[in-house]
Amino acid sequence: MENIIWYDELDSTNNEARRVLDALDNLSVIAAVGQSAGRGQGDHTWFASPGKNITATIVLKPENLSAGDYLFVTRVTTLALLSYLREHGVQARIKWPNDIWVEDRKICGILIENIIDGNRMKACLIGIGLNINEEGWPENLPNPVSLKELTGKEYDVRHELQLLVGQISRHSEMLLSSDGRNYLEQEFARYVFRLPEGI
């Protein structure tokens, strides 16, 4: 089902998805074993040891999403990640606007870049850095955690990406109905939190 294109190394999966966007179908995935310039929000970089984690960009080409509906892409992505983690026995929550935390530790970062055509959402590049088997953290990262550290298990990263893409596919289908959109809004509001200003 999933159209996942793997690379040994890229500068960033979001960059590659943008370069080849016209050739990609909806829910195509650009994944890399390693990234030389993985990006986070703003000027932040994303740390991931090669082969140990999910570093991928999922390309969403929604048929009925206007430019003003951009937050629905965040809702789809974050709630899909929560469902994926829940299936692994991990309860998580959404730190506004773009991180997934387990208690007070960060397991996933998300970088969404929207490509707008007039008032229509042409494509959404959903960059995901999900800590799977990572254990060797740099000292300058304040609060990271991986799935392995939480469960004590080693995971097949490629299989885990397939599971995650399946969740994003299912959640993206909710965009097609008003009931689905209402569900996304309500669930996102239920799990999202914000840090106090200045932290």
Note the pLDDT tens digit of each residue in 71-90.
999 999 999 999 999 999 99
What kind and span of H or E run contains 65? none
- Per the document, the length of the chain is 199
Q: Which residue has the higher pLDDT, 137 or 179?
A: 179
- For residue 196, the cross-strand partners are none
Is 40's pLDDT higher than 60? no
Q: Which residue has the higher pLDDT, 50 or 196?
A: 50
Q: Is 137 left (phi over 0), alpha (psi -120 to 50) or beta?
A: beta
Superfamily of domain 3-193: Bira Bifunctional Protein; Domain 2 (3.30.930.10)
What value does the mean pLDDT of the chain take? 91
Whether the pTM exceeds 0.85: the reply is yes
Give domain limits for the chain.
Answer: 3-193
Report yes or no: 102 and 91 within 8 Å, Cβ to Cβ: yes
**pLDDT for 142-164, tens place per residue?**
899 999 999 999 999 999 999 99
Token look-up 């929000």 returns: 41
pLDDT computed for residue 98 by the predictor: 85
pLDDT computed for residue 64 by the predictor: 81
Tell me the residue ranges of DSSP E strands in 64-191: 93-95, 99-102, 105-117, 120-130
**CA 63/CA 61 separation, integer angstroms:** 7
Is 104's pLDDT higher than 80? yes
What kind and span of H or E run contains 162? helix 157-172
What pLDDT band is residue 25 in, cutting at 50, 70 and 90? Answer: very high
- For residue 45, the cross-strand partners are 39
Instruction: List the single range of 43-57, 130-144, 178-192 with lowest mean pLDDT.
Output: 43-57
